[in-house]
Amino acid sequence: MLTEKNVTREINMAKAAQLDKLAAYREKLYKEPVLRLLFLELTLRCNEHCFHCGSRCSSDSMDGMPLEKYLEVLRDIKENLPGRLPQLCLTGGEPMLRRDLFELMARGMELGYRYSMTSNATLITPEKAHLLRMNGLRTISVSIDGLPETHDRQRGLPGAYRMAMKGIENLMAEGGFKTIQVTTVVNHSNMHELPELYRIFEHMDIDSWRVVGLEPIGRALESPEMMLTPEDTRYLLDFIRDKRLEGMPVSYGCSHFLGLGYEREVRDWYFLCNAGVYVASVMADGSVGACLDIERCEKTIQGNIYETPFTELWKNRFEIFRKPLSQNNETCRTCAWEKWCAGGAHHSWDYENDRQMICYKDILW
């Protein structure tokens, strides 16, 4: 007899088989990484002051490197890394504050690069939207972290919601972008606003809604009361799964292994931490690492382009990212799910104590 329990068992067996294949592929990536996405941190200045900012950006933070140093990296990659050029993700801080942004984009496009961007969108006028498209921007992710009052409060800028939504409207009116995405960082205090945000985004022509939980990084470490509870996490994942079934292009972020019950249910594919195997970054001071949300310390910074070309670092460093994090922790190493999780996401790893700060094993499984 075909029962719900039997169907669930069959689905989980299929997921386990696919996860086994992904685990084998991950081992290959450790040996043969492929640079698909390069983050360029163009500035640490920002016109907002978000309570959860992983990079602790502010209006008086440092600007990025000179234009020519970024172009030096792009030429180095084009000349010394075979295969398809990586997509560049322009980020900050707020990248729209960079005065030579469009010159950088234009000169990079001449080399064959295309761009994505993370932005708060408050500075995207119709004219700026046009320049972004003309200079090779394909994908943009705009942060909307709640309804107007909540968004403005958590981002430290009165009127931020109104300006961000206007920026999205300007991008849509310009057209020609591959993906206009909204990203929402969910915390304990704005969880209840998800249904209303859903109704708002449902009536907008956005291509994707990316929902992520607040992570214990950057300034968010100063607000532990805002972290998601186990109940919050289960609600969030159930919400995403239900809305996907309704046809909403919503997905959970790439972070964290979620167990057989939620993997493939809340995002398009299974968990794989891309840090150092698909993804790298050049920081505002020239430091080179993996994802920009990862703690910046002696273990994670792989060098600096003022001393060593980026491609040499990509080829010869990144050892910490090209082996399972689980090897560094007894609890992770002996976990029944280690083969699929590999210790979890690098950005939530405590490198001083070699432990994972976010593990959903006891919450979801």
Q: Summarize pLDDT for 199-253 with one digit per residue, the tens.
A: 999 999 899 999 999 999 889 889 999 999 999 999 999 999 999 999 999 999 9
Angle at 172 between CA 167 and CA 178, to 5 degrees: 115
Three-state secondary structure string covering 301-331: CCEECCCCCHHHHHHHCCHHHCCCHHHHCHH
Q: What is the pLDDT of residues 49-91, one digit of tens each?
A: 998 887 888 767 778 999 999 999 999 999 999 999 999 999 9
**Residue 97 has what pLDDT?**
96
Q: Is the pTM of this model over 0.85?
A: yes
Give the SS3 label for residue 95.
helix
Would strands 349-350 and 87-91 be described as parallel, antiparallel, or unpaired?
Answer: unpaired
Average pLDDT over residues 108-127: 97
**Residue 274 has what pLDDT?**
97
